[in-house]
Each structure stands twice: as structure tokens, then as C-alpha cells.
Structure 1
Amino acid sequence: MSNLPSEPEFEQAYRELASTLENSTLFEKKPEYKRALQIAAIPERIIQFRVVWENDKNEVQVNRGYRVQYNSALGPYKGGLRLHPTVNLSILKFLGFEQIFKNALTGLNMGGGKGGADFDPKGKSDNEIRRFCYAFMKELSKHIGADTDVPAGDIGVGGREIGYMFGAYKSIRNQWEGILTGKGGNWGGSLIRPEATGYGLVYYVEHMIQYASGGKESFAGKRVAISGSGNVAQYAALKIIELGGTVISLSDSKGAIIATSEKGFTPEIIDVIADLKLNRKALSDLTSEYSSQFKYVEGARPWKHCGNVDVALPSATQNEVSADEAEALISQGAKFIAEGSNMGCTQEAIDIFEASRKEKKGSAIWYAPGKAANAGGVAVSGLEMAQNSQRLKWTSEEVDEKLKQIMKNCFENGLETAKEYVTPAEGEFPSLVAGSNIAGFKKVAQAMHDQGDWW
């Protein structure tokens, strides 16, 4: 990858996958897969365009819009749209590259892609956001379709933005089709979609806990540190509480909020936090009313401040667990780390977790990468696509059962693949990061080969 312009986030994602494959027996058994990796690392298509819109003062504004259509070997391109001032091609390539293999692990027919713009919805009126979404979709609509590319939401793109974009597409193309997922429940959206990433994360980690304990333990009685306070963090927290665990932290971009009482966060407090987020307020506002139950640590992530912890779920953004924070989690007793965010841990942190997994054996730290652990969101997006295609609507129970099965399959696929290609030492847990990378890559590479992309 040395001949590419500097794209640090993408290069990190590529190196993480490539090093896993190279340190397994995959290339020994199938040396031709090296060529497949070189081809898969290059997107099939990158679309970049300008988005011109007017603010409430009738002043013309311009932003950069993108769609990276990375790989369609397994199905239509699938991946979120992100609206945030930090959006650039490196971030979208990293997210799209990860999305290819995440989607493969769900077992559904979805390729990988990602997109968005460097537009910041914060501080904008509803009318400004609507005008931006219509201008954005004016160009994006030329490149997507139910059988071509089906975007979803991501950071900065919730139900409101999806609604505006869907309305724009419909008016431009004069057709109703399931070209976006995360839609409203009464116009094509799936039940459980808002909860899916958080719920799926918890279902995945529950399999980790059960496997590690020989079926003797669950979330019941576990202390769980979570970062972030958006949809993923909120619904993961609610599911953990439902399963008997204690949630001890959440965070936002300005700092971390730590529970100081034994009961931790409650569903009622999570509802208060959801309202704060909806009204674009900071978590620090919570401590003024609930100072006896929580403390706020300004400018910090929770990992060094949560005390004794069994499970850590980074669920905010990329690279949110550093090497020293990984060491802090281990020293505080963490046994299970799983990413609710994409590439939530730095490579240095992953190396520390993986080294600990090997050294401590029976009492190992067990790490699960985002491409496996947070696949629940895109899995239910895939289920939404299926419902749209059939003009059906499944019940919450039906969708939740399908989600549970997908996350179970995702865990077992990574587990068994790790055993096959990275033989663990006696008493050592298999590497879920290696197993997930290899399983996702193999599936995509074989489909590309069958379709003549390499031979």
C-alpha cells in the first residue's frame, strides 16, 4: 500500500486485516489469496461530488459529498452515510473496507460501501438539514438503487435525515423502492433496527462469556463499561440491564460519566440521556441533577475511571481505546472487550489484548473486533431490505430471533475459523479478531474468484 496517498485510517484497517491473514496458515494453504487481497483493497468505484445548499439566511453553502462503492461480490453495496465535519476519503475507505467483511460475516447477500459528507448537522435548523439532504441526494440518487447500492444511517444520520433523503430520492426518481435502510416504521422500516447494533453487540458478547465459562456464566452480575451515548451505547446498556448486568459508564465527545452507586445506570436514566442527546445537550448536564449517583470526568474516556470492570464495550468512534487505556482495563479486571464502534481500539491496544489472551490462557482477556461484534446493525438493515423486497413487515419477535441467530453464527464462524487457521495453544482462547478477519475475507475472495475478478 506504500504507493497510495497518506490515508491513515484506511491504512490502519488494511494493515490490521493483512497482518492477520499473513500470520495465519491461509496463504500457505491458498497462496493465490494474496492476489485477492491486493484487488479487494481497491474500491470498485469512488464517487466524489459537491453539495450546494442554502442556509436560513439564504447564503450559499458548499460541502464535499462521497460514496465509496467498495465491493459488490456478495450483493448490492451496503453501508452507512456519515455527516460529520471530519469526514474524508481515508475515513470512508476504512469504514467501507471494514464493511465488506462485516457484511460477509452476517451471511446475508450484501456487498460493502460507505459514504457521507463533511457537513455538520449540529447547530443546523430542520430546514437547513432538509435542504442539505435534498441537495446531497440530488447527486447520490444517480448512483444508488435497491439492487445496486443501499445506504443506511451512521454518525449524524438518524431517522430525520433518512426521511429527508428518502423523500428526495422518491421525488427525483418518481419511484418508491427500498434504497435506504433505517426508514420510519410506517413507510418501510424494520422493527428492532434502531436497537440492532447495541442488541447484537450484547448477544455476541454473551456467547463469548458463555464459551469462556463453559456455559456457567452470563451477563448477570457483570460490571460493564460502555463509551458513547448514542443509539449503540443506549440500546446495549438497556439490553445488559435486562440481562442482569450493571452498566457503570457512558460518555460523549466532551467527557465520561461514571456511576458512583452500586446499581449503576437504570433504564430511567438511559431515557433521560436519550432526551439529552435528542436535544443536543452534553452528558455533564445529567450530573447536576443526579450528583449522588454519577460523576462526570471532563475531557476523558471512561476506561481509566470505571474501577473494577468485567466487560468493556467501546461504542463511540474509531481509535477510542489507546495502548495505555488497554493496560488500564486489564489492571481493572476486564475479561471481555468487544467493539460497538468501528475500529474502536488502536492497533497497539489490540496487540496488548491479544498478547494477554495468549499469556493468561484460562483467565485471558478476550477481544472481539467491530466487524464481528457490531454486525447486528447491518444485519437488520439486510433484513429490512428483505422485507421491502417482499412488501412484508415482520414482528419485533421475528426480527429479534433472526438477529440472535445471525450473531450466534457470526461468533461461531469466527471461533471455528480461528481454530482452523490460527491453532491456539492448549487452554488458550481462539483469536476472534483473526477468525473473523479470515472468515469474512475468505467468503468475499471466493465470490470474487467465482465471478472472474481474479484467478
Structure 2
Amino acid sequence: MAVSDHVDFNGFMEGVNRRNPHQPEFVQAVQEVAEDIFPFLDSNEEYHSQQILRRIAEPDRVVSFRVCWEDDNGNIRVQRGWRVQNNNAIGPYKGGIRFHPSVTESVLKFLAFEQTFKNALTGLPMGGGKGGSNFNPKGKSVREIMRFCQSFMTELYRHIGADVDVPAGDIGVGGREIGYMFGQYKRITNQFTGVLTGKGLEYGGSLIRPEATGYGAVYFLANMLATKDQDLVGKTAVISGSGNVATHAAEKIVQLGGKVLTLSDSGGFIHDPDGLSQEKIDWVKTHKTHRRGRIEEYVEAFPGATFTAGKTPWGVPCDVALPCATQNELLGEDAKTLIANGVQAVSEGANMPTDLDGVHAFRGAKILFAPGKAANAGGVAVSGLEMSQNSERRSWKEEELQQMLKDIMAGIHKSCETYGRQGDGYIDYVKGANIGGFKKVADAMLAFGVV
């Protein structure tokens, strides 16, 4: 029976829409998972009778609070902050904090829901959560960002803890912001605990954390290609974004012999037909991260490239594509264009960057397509390893962490393969990730009874 004809599925989604009005991102995330889980429930009645998916799709709690701070001109500013604690069946809530004007309760609920499955796939004992604020760090002074972070943590601290909820960074929240928030938590509680990840190496952070999400997405991509007896040598790659995830994904592709053609930001994308060398990637890292510049300035530094304003890079022909910017950046028509241009594999470096139409297009064409909950789990995996290091009061060497990251991504790929392999040999990674993540959380929830 096609999922669209499944009466229980339709009724379930009607309920999700009714309970979450004006929250399209959250509803989209739940639908993407439910499309695979409902057929799975047909042969697993206990999950259905115990309403496991219904329970996972209702966050344990959503905390909303006011954040007041003072700008450099003495003006009082007011933002809204949230922490969504979705599910802690297999461990403390774990997920990033995002500072961006697009942040809403719907966005954070979708991210926390996705995080629940992503964290389960890593094999580490972490539940799913997410938080943030509609604060925009762009254009703010360092002192303004510090004051905002301190005010944000003054409200958040009572809801988190090393064994309760361990936030990390996300869009708009890097090492600087984590430092300000950790300092305020320590100041208020008089405790030095592993309550945040993504910390500086000087005070409990982990090596390779900045690289982990981008590297992990490429390791997963390499695992997918290996099922076709292929690798990245000589393959062309189109990447969106130009922040931490995108630049490290580009770096790893170059290291593995691929050729990266594009990067982007909210203003448009650059296309470098000669490919981005390590020198060029380092320029982007410095220009974007430290100088807060725009990607269009790349063409001034490297004249062989072109910049296209107001567009995404999905029209550039390529062998592999990695959307690494934000949610719903790769639409159905973009997916069809990539397919028509011969794309072989897509690995999501961002959270839900492909809309439902795009996901259906890739799956329908049997493209190797890795959803974010599987492909971009490298970041939270290393965050989980940072939690372990904090608990043990130790640090692991870089080569140890690199190997653990590779092993975790290979393990996620294996889980997706187990639950996603079809009769014709095609591996439906979306189905595999959804069922693999769901089953681990569901089995833990069954063990706890009705709670």
C-alpha cells in the first residue's frame, strides 16, 4: 500500500497539522519520517499500539523565554529564546544553539525532532534537543554579542546540565559564543562541567570538532560511492554554503581527490571551473569566518571564477552535490536539474536542506541520497565524544578522533544499508536512516513503559 493511501498515515498527519498550526518546517520534518515509519509499523504492531511515533513527534517540553540585553548605544533590546527538548529516551538531550533572525519555534522543533534520530544513528547515548534565538549576530560588536550570550545563558542555565541537556553551537554560534555562554554558566552555577560542547581546547574542547560535520558528510558520501565500487577521485562536486560545514566538506573532497566547483552564501554562489584548491579554501575560511566577508569577493581574489547573485548552485553540472547551507535550499526543480545533469550522489551537510519534492525526486530516480540525519551526524558524534572526554577529564589525540569519526560514519551507513536496501539492490538511505534511528529510540521507550 502506498503511504499516500495509508489511512492511519493521513490521520496522523492531520493530527500533526492540527496540533502544530503555522509550523511548516516541523510538519515537513515529521512527514518525511512518517512516510517511512508507517509502512514499518504494519509489521511492528507494538510500536503502533504504544503510539511511539506520536510520542516522539510531541516534544518533551518547549521552553520559551525573553532575552533582554543592552547594545553599545545604551538601547535596551529584546529577543526571544527557546530550548526544545524533544526526546531523552537514550541519553541527555543533545543539540545545537542557533542565533539567526529566521529562528522560530517551528524551526527549532523540526531541528530537535531530526536530532533525535540523528543522535540515535551515531550509536552514542544522546537524546535530541535544539535551541536558539532570533538574535542576529551580523553587524553586532563583540561586546554586544558577549552581553547577549550572557543574558541568554542567564535564562537557559536552569534547564541544562551535563546529565540533563548539553547544547552545542550551530548557525551564528561558534567557539566565541560558546565561550561566552560557558563562562556565564560557570559564573552562575559555580560549576565546571561538560554542559556545552564545541568549547575551546583550553577549557575542555575536543580536537576536530570544527571539521567533524563537513568531514563526516564526505565520509558518508565516500561510503555510498563504495557500494558502486567508486570513489571521489576525479569527481566534480557542487557545494552550497561557505561556513564551517561547507569549507571542511570542500577540504575533505579535495583531500580525497575530488574537484570542488562552487560555494555560496545568502547573496549568491561562486563557480570556479578550475576547482577550489586548499589555498582557495583557506582563503574562504579566513575571509568568511574571521573577517565576516561575503563570498562574492572570492572572484576578486581568484579572477578565474564567476559570481551569480541571488541564485543557488544546483544548475552547475556535477558528479556529487552537498547542500551545506540551510533548510529547504534545494527544491524539487533543483533536484530534477541535478538529475538531468547526471548527478550520481547527494550528501546533505545541512539539516533538511532538500524539500519534500526534492527528496521524492532523488528517491524516485534512485540517486544515492543521504539525508542530513545520517550524513551530517559527524558533528554531533564528535560532540558526544567531547562529552565523554569531559566526563573522564581527558583528551584524545587527533588521529584517535579521526578514526572514531570514520568508524561512526561507517556505522551509520551500515544501519542505513540494513534498513534501506531494496529488492533491486538500491539503498534507500532516507528509509534506512528513518527506520534505523526510530527503532533504537522506540525500543528504549518501550522499555520505560508509558512515560
TM-score normalised per structure 1: 0.94
1:270-289 equivalences in 2 (<5 Å): 270-277=281-288, 278-289=290-301
Which amino acid letter does the alignment assign opposite residue 389 of structure 1? Answer: S
**Which residue is 1:342 aligned to?**
351
Distance in 2 separating the partners of 1:333 and 1:2: 36
Distance in 1 separating the partners of 2:17 and 2:382: 37
**Which residue is 1:232 aligned to?**
245
**Which residue is 1:446 aligned to?**
443
For residue 260 of structure 1, report the CA deviation from its aligned partner: 2.3
Which amino acid letter does the alignment assign opposite residue 244 of structure 1? Answer: G
**Which residue is 1:326 aligned to?**
335
Distance in 2 separating the partners of 1:64 and 1:289: 39
1:356 equivalenced with 2:365 (yes/no): yes
Structure 1 residue runs of 5 or longer lacking an equivalent are 358-364
**Which residue is 2:178 aligned to?**
162
For residue 366 of structure 1, report the CA deviation from its aligned partner: 1.1
Distance in 2 separating the partners of 1:96 and 1:243: 32
Percent identity reads 51
SS at match of 1:43: coil
Which amino acid letter does the alignment assign opposite residue 236 of structure 1? Answer: A
Structure 2 residue runs of 5 or longer lacking an equivalent are 1-15
Counterpart of 2:90 (choices 62, 74, 79) is 74
For residue 85 of structure 1, report the CA deviation from its aligned partner: 0.7
List per-residue Cα deviations over 1:17-43 (Å, max 9, x = no partner): 001112x3x212212323100111101
Distance in 1 separating the partners of 2:102 and 2:301: 33
1:88-127 equivalences in 2 (<5 Å): 88-127=104-143
SS at match of 1:212: coil
Counterpart of 1:433 (choices 400, 410, 430) is 430
Counterpart of 2:382 (choices 369, 380, 383) is 380
Contact 2:349–2:375 (8 Å) recurs in 1: yes
1:296 equivalenced with 2:307 (yes/no): yes
Which amino acid letter does the alignment assign opposite residue 2 of structure 1? Answer: N
For residue 201 of structure 1, report the CA deviation from its aligned partner: 0.6
**Which residue is 2:232 aligned to?**
219
Distance in 2 separating the partners of 1:382 and 1:112: 12
Distance in 2 separating the partners of 1:289 and 1:387: 41
SS at match of 2:17: coil
SS at match of 2:204: coil
List per-residue Cα deviations over 1:322-378 (Å, max 9, x = no partner): 111111111111010110000010100011111101xxxxxxx11110000000000
Distance in 1 separating the partners of 2:127 and 2:17: 26
Contact 2:218–2:347 (8 Å) recurs in 1: no
Counterpart of 1:252 (choices 265, 270, 281) is 265
**Which residue is 1:12 aligned to?**
28
Contact 2:17–2:27 (8 Å) recurs in 1: no
Which amino acid letter does the alignment assign opposite residue 283 of structure 1? Answer: I
SS at match of 2:271: strand
Distance in 1 separating the partners of 2:301 and 2:44: 60
Regions of 4+ moved over 6 Å: none
Distance in 2 separating the partners of 1:410 and 1:343: 17
SS at match of 2:324: coil
For residue 3 of structure 1, report the CA deviation from its aligned partner: 1.9
**Worse-matched range after superposition: 75-84 or 428-437:** 428-437
Summarize the Cα distance change of 1:430–1:260 in structure 2 as closer, same or farther, 3 Å threshold. closer
1:310 equivalenced with 2:299 (yes/no): no
Count of equivalent residues:
432
Distance in 2 separating the partners of 1:290 and 1:242: 21
SS at match of 2:195: coil
1:184 equivalenced with 2:181 (yes/no): no
For residue 6 of structure 1, report the CA deviation from its aligned partner: 2.0
Distance in 2 separating the partners of 1:127 and 1:143: 25
Distance in 2 separating the partners of 1:6 and 1:50: 21
List per-residue Cα deviations over 1:96-141 (Å, max 9, x = no partner): 0000000000000000000000100000000000000000000100
For residue 186 of structure 1, report the CA deviation from its aligned partner: 1.5
Counterpart of 2:153 (choices 117, 120, 137) is 137
The alignment's C-alpha RMSD in Å is 0.9
Which amino acid letter does the alignment assign opposite residue 190 of structure 2? Answer: N
Distance in 1 separating the partners of 2:333 and 2:260: 22
Distance in 1 separating the partners of 2:435 and 2:334: 27
**Which residue is 1:400 aligned to?**
402
**Which residue is 2:254 aligned to?**
241
Distance in 1 separating the partners of 2:104 and 2:353: 18
For residue 442 of structure 1, report the CA deviation from its aligned partner: 0.7
